[in-house]
Amino acid sequence: MSEGRGGYHGCPLLVEETCSKLEASFSRFSLYNLFPVWRGIWPSSSSSGGWAEVWERCMRWDSAAVVRGVGPIWLVLCRESRATLSQVCERSRGAIRLSSQHTTLPALFDIHQVPKVVQEDGIMSGYRDPCSTALNCVLSSFQIHNETINIWTHFLPTWYFVWRLAVLCSSLDFSADPYTWPLLVYMLLICLYPFASSCAHTFSAMSTQTYHICFFFDYGSLSLYSFGCAISYSYYVMPEPWVNSRLQSCFVPLALLNSVFCTSLSCYSRFVELWAPQRSKVMRTAAFVVPFIFDTTPLIYRILLCYGGGCAHPQAVSNHSYHLLFALLTCFLFTSHLPERLAPGRFDYIGHSHQLFHVCAVVGTHFQMEAVVEDMFSRRSWLTDQGVAPSFLGTIGALLIGLLLNLFIIGLFCVPLLWKCQTHAQPGHKQTQ
Ligand SMILES: [Zn+2]
């Protein structure tokens, strides 16, 4: 093999880590062992078979094993010492590349083969190539890996909520009836957050920078969803004693501040993650728990009134209670990392906490949506008699302001990452990750 022949280029991190792993495991094997390495890396068309002859003693690429759509599988055949293997790795470094042209399903990696930033507690395998193309990311949603169920558990519910919005559109006059505007805002946001999450889980494997940016948008959409809950609660769910109170008049502006706090803190927590993972987790949890407590305080008070027999419209209370139950379960799964923490590697593909977290979040949102719709219809005449009239600024206007503020915050956090990306792309820059 002549290095560089066939126009190979490197993905240095992966080559580096694969070699390190290979060298580390070498001592556990006797001579004449066969080591599969760089599984799934596709050579360029001009490279077929050429280098196997030169590296015959130590490294061999069996071209007969290459079946388009399945392979190729690169193999190292070691007959000599660990030093020879190290030499093979050294010589091959920079002479291979991950293909960005083929359209087969991409290979998967173990935890030690991907950058630290994408590693998850207790998830030992099933990681996608962290240098994936957008096309491979889309294709990978049809392949089983540790993000597949995360993608689908939010992609399918998106269309369920869109369908529910379409049904409401056919029975309500959203354009002319201001009373329905809080519901419209809420419904738009429960369609947005699972869709943004699904996209984040799909495209997060393109690069380290993209990984962060995808989850900035995920957090921003969750923050807006929380803001949408506050808008709908402010107009439809508020307990009777608090209707027309000072709290109700301040509820939406305070929720907007909460949204700014939530997006800022959750995005910032990603920068802290590498050097202080525990602190990052606490920050991110706090970012979402604070708005949740604020939003649900009136609801909890109303539920307590209703269970005490002191509320006039108890129809939606059971659905509100189910929602709270699932919200608590969601929070528990997010913070505990159970069950994979108890059995690392057992739940890599199916059943890990993030998947359960997605499912609980969606089921909780379903009960919440039913409760909000129920309250909107059942309390309409009473709320109208109390003079509660949603304004454009307090509903759709607030949503637009919240959207712009969140986009601005996300943009601010994206700048250093995009700048770093550009710096790395400059000629002569030495890639370190
Ligand atoms: Zn998620």
Residue pLDDT, tens place only, 89-102: 555 544 444 444 44
Residue 303: count other Cβ atoms within 10 Å of its Cβ.
20
Measured distance CA(301)–CA(374) in Å, rounded: 18
**What is the band of 258 on the pLDDT scale with cuts at 50, 70, 90?**
very high
| pLDDT above 60 (res 290) | yes
- Measured in angstroms, how far is the CA atom of residue 200 from the centroid of ligand 1? 8
**What is the band of 276 on the pLDDT scale with cuts at 50, 70, 90?**
confident
**Within its chain, how far is the Cα of 111 from the centroid?**
17
| pLDDT above 70 (res 1) | no
- pLDDT, one tens digit per residue, over 368-377 is 999 999 999 9
**pLDDT score recorded for residue 40:** 38
Q: Is 392 exposed, middle or buried (0-12, 13-18, 19+ CB in 10 A)?
A: exposed
**pLDDT score recorded for residue 116:** 84
Q: Which residue has the higher pLDDT, 393 or 428?
A: 393
Strand partners for 155: none
Strand partners for 338: none
| pLDDT above 80 (res 337) | yes
Two structure tokens written together for 271: 């920068």
- Measured in angstroms, how far is the CA atom of residue 415 from the centroid of ligand 1? 23
Per-residue pLDDT, averaged over 342-347, amounts to: 90
Two structure tokens written together for 160: 């369920």
Two structure tokens written together for 262: 């939530």
**pLDDT score recorded for residue 99:** 42
**pLDDT score recorded for residue 330:** 94
Per-residue pLDDT, averaged over 321-333, amounts to: 95
Two structure tokens written together for 363: 């089921």
- Measured in angstroms, how far is the CA atom of residue 354 from the centroid of ligand 1? 6
Any binding-site annotation on 366? no
Per-residue pLDDT, averaged over 153-162, amounts to: 96
Quote the crossing angle between the two packed helices 246-272 and 396-425, to the nearest 10°. Answer: 10
| pLDDT above 70 (res 70) | no
Any binding-site annotation on 201? yes
- Measured in angstroms, how far is the CA atom of residue 120 from the centroid of ligand 1? 12
- Measured in angstroms, how far is the CA atom of residue 256 from the centroid of ligand 1? 23
**pLDDT score recorded for residue 114:** 84
**What is the band of 254 on the pLDDT scale with cuts at 50, 70, 90?**
very high
Per-residue pLDDT, averaged over 43-57, amounts to: 42
**What is the band of 308 on the pLDDT scale with cuts at 50, 70, 90?**
confident
Mean pLDDT computed over every residue of the chain = 79
**Within its chain, how far is the Cα of 114 from the centroid?**
17
Per-residue pLDDT, averaged over 32-44, amounts to: 39
Any binding-site annotation on 352? no
- Measured in angstroms, how far is the CA atom of residue 197 from the centroid of ligand 1? 6
Q: Confirm if 348 and 123 have CB atoms less than 8 A apart.
A: yes
**pLDDT score recorded for residue 67:** 41
**Within its chain, how far is the Cα of 313 from the centroid?**
38
DSSP class of residue 129? Answer: P
Per-residue pLDDT, averaged over 119-138, amounts to: 88
Q: Which residue has the higher pLDDT, 368 or 432?
A: 368
Closest by CA to 232, choosing from 193, 179, 191, is 179
Which range among 63-67, 309-313, 428-432 has the greatest average pLDDT?
A: 309-313
**pLDDT score recorded for residue 310:** 76
User: In the chain, pLDDT over 70 holds for what percent of residues?
Assistant: 73
Q: Confirm if 252 and 224 have CB atoms less than 8 A apart.
A: no
Element (H, E) at 424: helix 396-425
| pLDDT above 50 (res 72) | no
Calculate the dihedral angle through the C-alpha atoms of 154, 349, 263, 139, rounding to the nearest 10 degrees.
-60
Measured distance CA(215)–CA(203) in Å, rounded: 10
- Measured in angstroms, how far is the CA atom of residue 141 from the centroid of ligand 1? 14
Per-residue pLDDT, averaged over 305-309, amounts to: 84
- For 283-290, which contacts have Cβ atoms below 8 Å and span 24 or more sequence positions? 284/219, 285/331, 285/334, 285/335, 287/219, 287/223, 287/261, 287/262, 287/263, 288/222, 288/223, 288/226, 288/262, 288/331, 289/331, 290/258, 290/261, 290/262
Measured distance CA(133)–CA(106) in Å, rounded: 10
DSSP class of residue 60? Answer: E
| pLDDT above 60 (res 335) | yes
**pLDDT score recorded for residue 426:** 52
Residues with Cβ within 8 Å of 84's Cβ and at least 6 positions away in sequence, in order, are 57, 58, 78
Least confident of 39-43, 316-320, 365-369: 39-43
Under DSSP, is residue 71 helix (H, G, I), strand (E, B) or coil?
coil
Per-residue pLDDT, averaged over 412-417, amounts to: 90
**pLDDT score recorded for residue 422:** 62
